[in-house]
Amino acid sequence: MINLTYPIAPSEMQTKNFHSNVPFTLESGQELPEIELTYTTYGRINAAQDNVIWIIHALTGDSRVGDWWNGMVGEDKFFDPADYFIICVNLLGSCYGSTSPLSQNPKTGKPYFYDFPLLTTRDMAKSLDLVRESIGIKKIHTLLGGSLGGQVALEWAYQLGDSLEKLVILASTAKSSPWVIGFNESQRMAIESDCTWGEENPDAGKKGLETARAIAMLSYRHPSDFARKQESPSGMLDNFRAASYLRYQGQKLAKRFTAFSYWILSKAMDNHDLGRNRDSYQDALKKIKARTLAVGVNSDLLFLPEESLEISRFVPKGSYREIQSTAGHDAFLIEFEQLHYILKSFYVSTESRN
């Protein structure tokens, strides 16, 4: 637990673990006997406790947001620890310190492996709120999330109500489309095709995960980006640059992630529906009270920009901006200069209305 009055140096980073022995009931009705969530903080909470920036990572991210979003978080960056208390929690089901399929099931004394229950973005949002309560945060200045992180952020924003001031959703959606589900299913099929999948081994499905990542990269990028960066010299018959790039990306992820977490988190992305048991996702969006900025990417082939635009249209205090980039879906992790300008404009506009 963080002591809110302790003078943490603005540049200091702390990684901590939240642990709860209280059974965690999931949306499916199943339970996790206990949960652990790893989280990283930067900076300190001010006396008014009105400078909390909460960032939710995407599918294979971790809590060290200063590493994977270093163009936005860090000294002299848009979110500077000298000004803000920045926190990122490794999502439930992920393999970077939080309860996941490779965690020990206290009921059996063995890892969950394939018995790990189905998760939803609503479950993830609920677990984040437990961390918030344990730290003692009553108000969040800004909640940001991209892709899967944006889906979780929408769910949590619905639950937070007046406790959240500003919401920023990057390249995401209020309900996963058949297109997104199809991409994810093809990746899980790749994992299933690995002959080691089904073994109770932490490395099970590793080769399948490499293929899954290659498929995912095709949805994260845009054809024009591939043409610009992966074009091979004319006259080649084999060993094309694009092929080598995808193999490299697959191997790179398989070294740091697990097929088990990939399976669980991609399933949660599939079943994301802000409107489940709430009439419709449009109706649920109307109940979000925070000033909301939805950011689309003009070249995004996975979460289409019109899906981000739709979020802004139904949230009562919603607005929309678009990143112009050839990078595709991953532009929200790359186009720092545009994001800086977009967020600065959003902050100025919201402050002028208060």
329 noted as active-site residue = yes
Q: Which residues are 17's β-sheet partners?
A: 38
CA torsion, ordered 97, 102, 106, 110, to nearest 10 deg? -140
- Per-residue exposure over 143-169, b if at least 16 CB sit within 10 Å of its own CB, e if not: bbbbbbbbbbbbbbbbebeebbbbbbb
Alpha-carbon distance 331 to 243, whole Å?
21
Q: At what angle do helices 259-270 and 148-160 cross, to 10 degrees?
A: 60
Alpha-carbon distance 320 to 292, whole Å?
8
162 noted as active-site residue = no
Q: Which residues are 85's β-sheet partners?
A: 52
147 noted as active-site residue = yes
User: Which of 141, 129, 126 is closest to 50 using CA atoms?
Assistant: 141
Q: At what angle do helices 241-256 and 206-220 cross, to 10 degrees?
A: 120
Q: Integer distance in angstroms from the first to the last C-alpha of the chain?
A: 33
Amino acid at 88: C
* 83 to 57, 79, 174: CA distances (angstroms): 21, 7, 31
**Which residue in 57, 222, 272, 329 is the catalytic one?**
329
**Residue 17, both tokens:** 């673990």
Q: Are 91 and 122 in contact (CB under 8 A)?
A: no
Rg, C-alpha atoms of the chain: 20
Handedness of CA 197, 198, 204, 209 (dihedral sign): positive
**Which residue in 63, 98, 147, 266 is the catalytic one?**
147
User: Which of 294, 274, 303 is closest to 286 using CA atoms?
Assistant: 274
User: Which of 263, 259, 253, 250 is closest to 205 using CA atoms?
Assistant: 259
Chain position carrying tokens 């393999």: 95
Amino acid at 353: R
**Which residue in 300, 308, 312, 325 is the catalytic one?**
300
Q: Which residues are catalytic?
A: 147, 300, 329
